[in-house]
Amino acid sequence: MLFARPKDAKFSFGRKVEHPLSTAKQQLESSCHQLISANNECSDLTVVLSGRPPILGKTPMLKKAFLLGVVALAGVGMVRAEDKVQLVVESWRNDDLKVWRDTIIPAFTKKHPNIAIVFAPTAPTEYNAVLDAKLKGGTAGDLIACRPFDKSLDLYKAGQVVALNDLPGMENFTQIARTAWSTDDGKTTFAVPMASVIHGFFYNKAIFKELGLSVPKTEQEFLAVLDKVKANGKYIPLVIGTKDQWESATMGYQNIGPTLWEGEKGRKALIDGSAQYNKGGFLAAFEALAKWRPYLASGYQALAYPDAQNLFAQGRGAIYPAGSWDIGVFHQMNRKLDFGAFKPYTFAGKNEPVIDDHPDIALGLNAASKNKEAARTFLVWVASEEFAQVYANALPGFFPLANVSYTLSDPVAQEFANWRKEGAASFRCSYQILSRNGNPNNENDLWNACAQVLNGTMTPQQAADFVQKDLASWYKPQAAR
């Protein structure tokens, strides 16, 4: 029979028995002394639990004493293992593995030593399919990282994650913070919001200083800065490509648009059918995006997202339309790059900027978990101020959604975070409800249309009409508009 010895138990010969597990020590000593008394051959036996395994030699009674001692220690070790609950966290954030291992998990287990956390990420592009297979096969982890809106809502509707309305700490989240992981009526929340990402612009401080530029606050100032950079000729005024399409919508249209369609007012109006993409602020956002075209790099149509990152990281561009998730990326790509951030600019007649503070990730509880009590303990911690402090600094650019106090050590991340206190916020207009149709899909249509606007192959009006027509073709509140 084989027994597993506790990882902190070590053996060698010596003069006495020592071990932090007093019960194990007593059991081992008792077993040894009983055998020593029965056989004088072992009268000089001593065991110390602090070195390498002993050489048992040829003495039969010594072998028995040692084996009995291992049995006693194994029993204690098994009790300790049974007392410790293990929670497995499913996620698509494989880039965060080191952060979880070195920072997040130790911070939690310091106060909850009886709960072990295993972070088990899957590649982002494979996550949905892998998670579905695990949930159906009964092998998914206890805690499920939930993407915003429909995919996670489907998990709740299928009974695969549970409602968390009664979880202590949920009161720390506003209704808008919970929206991405709540039912359409807003009555049930099924995941604890962890973080959002914020849209804005990065700028190269050295280039701004060299050319005597000031951070722009209005569209007029923004275009004037781009004109000066273009006239100088040394740098790319605005670094963004259209090859991958999504950046044109995500860091372009959805970045500057919320101010024009008045944030939540306009976003909700699209959902109820009282606003359309080819009218008002949504059309104006296409028109504003088209003004970027003269300032893009030569050959920008073939520029992929990583290419744009490289150009800005190398100091070749003045302004980079950004998501806060790129803060850490640029720190890693070029630690000498001195860059700052400014919020989306305002427009004539729209003097109150609205930032896109987009929900990114939350954590749900697997309905089939056998460790729900421990899982809820972890989720309560995720909703706390302590978690916010740890997470925000471990992953600069990912901002906790809990309405709690925390400080940031990264100055660029702090600049983004400050915008939350300075005005209104919304999130990407196509994400809630409007992209539930497979084909045509509202989000994909925006990628296509925005890229074509920047490429000059669609006018703003043509792009807006295209997106609106596809949405109205399947979404009833827009059908009669």
pLDDT tens series, the chain, 481 aa: 333 333 333 333 333 333 333 433 444 344 444 333 333 333 333 333 333 333 334 444 444 434 434 433 333 333 345 579 999 999 999 999 999 999 999 999 999 999 999 999 999 999 999 999 999 999 999 999 999 999 999 999 999 999 999 999 999 999 999 999 999 999 999 999 999 999 999 999 999 999 999 999 999 999 999 999 999 999 999 999 999 999 999 999 999 999 999 999 999 999 999 999 999 999 999 999 999 999 999 999 999 999 999 999 999 999 999 999 999 999 999 999 999 999 999 999 999 999 999 999 999 999 999 999 999 999 999 999 999 999 999 999 999 999 999 999 999 999 999 999 999 999 999 999 999 999 999 999 999 999 999 999 999 999 999 999 999 999 999 996 6
According to the model, what pLDDT value does residue 29 have? 40
Q: What is the pLDDT of residues 19-37, one digit of tens each?
A: 333 433 444 344 444 333 3
- Assess whether 79 and 123 both reside in one domain: no
Q: Does residue 145 form part of some domain?
A: yes
- Assess whether 140 and 204 both reside in one domain: no
CA geometry: angle at 221 spanning 234 and 449, to 5°?
A: 80
- Assess whether 325 and 452 both reside in one domain: yes
Q: Does residue 146 form part of some domain?
A: yes
How deeply is 473 buried, as exposed, middle or buried, from its count of CB atoms within 10 A (0-12, 13-18, 19+)?
A: exposed
- Assess whether 213 and 347 both reside in one domain: yes
Please name the amino acid found at residue 96: D
- Assess whether 335 and 241 both reside in one domain: yes
What CATH number is attached to the domain comprising 364? 3.40.190.10
Contact at 8 Å (CB) between 48 and 11? yes
- Dist CA 22 CA 179 (whole Å): 52
- Assess whether 275 and 330 both reside in one domain: yes
Q: Which domain holds residue 174?
A: 85-196+358-407
Q: Say how many CA atoms lie within 13 Å of 258 toward its Cβ.
A: 28
Give the residues across from 320 on adjacent strands.
202
- Assess whether 171 and 213 both reside in one domain: no
Contact at 8 Å (CB) between 386 and 169? no
- Assess whether 368 and 353 both reside in one domain: no
- Assess whether 130 and 220 both reside in one domain: no
How far, in Å, are 86, 92, 135, 141, 435 from residue 372 at the CA level?
A: 11, 22, 16, 11, 33
- The pTM of the full predicted model, rounded to 2 decimals, is 0.82
Q: Does residue 10 form part of some domain?
A: no
- Name the DSSP letter for residue 468: H
Q: Does residue 420 form part of some domain?
A: no
Burial 250-265 (b: 16+ CB within 10 A, else e): bbbbbbbbbbbbbbbe
Where does a domain end: 31, 62, 83?
Answer: 83
Q: Does residue 17 form part of some domain?
A: no
- Name the DSSP letter for residue 347: B
- Assess whether 220 and 265 both reside in one domain: yes
- Assess whether 319 and 399 both reside in one domain: no
Q: Does residue 154 form part of some domain?
A: yes
CB atoms near residue 63 (< 10 Å): 14
Q: Does residue 465 form part of some domain?
A: yes
Q: What are phi and psi of 324, to 5 degrees?
A: -60, -20
Q: How many independent structural domains does the chain possess? A: 3
Q: With helix as H, strand as E and coil as C, how does 114-180 read?
A: CEEEEEEECCCCCHHHHHHHHHHHCCCCCEEEECCCHHHHHHHHCCCECCCCCCCCHHHCCHHHHHH
- Assess whether 328 and 455 both reside in one domain: yes
How deeply is 37 buried, as exposed, middle or buried, from its count of CB atoms within 10 A (0-12, 13-18, 19+)?
A: exposed
Q: What is the pLDDT of residues 33-66, one digit of tens each?
A: 433 333 333 333 333 333 333 333 444 444 443 4
Nearest CA to 116 out of 163, 80, 152, 146 is that of 80
Q: Does residue 3 form part of some domain?
A: no
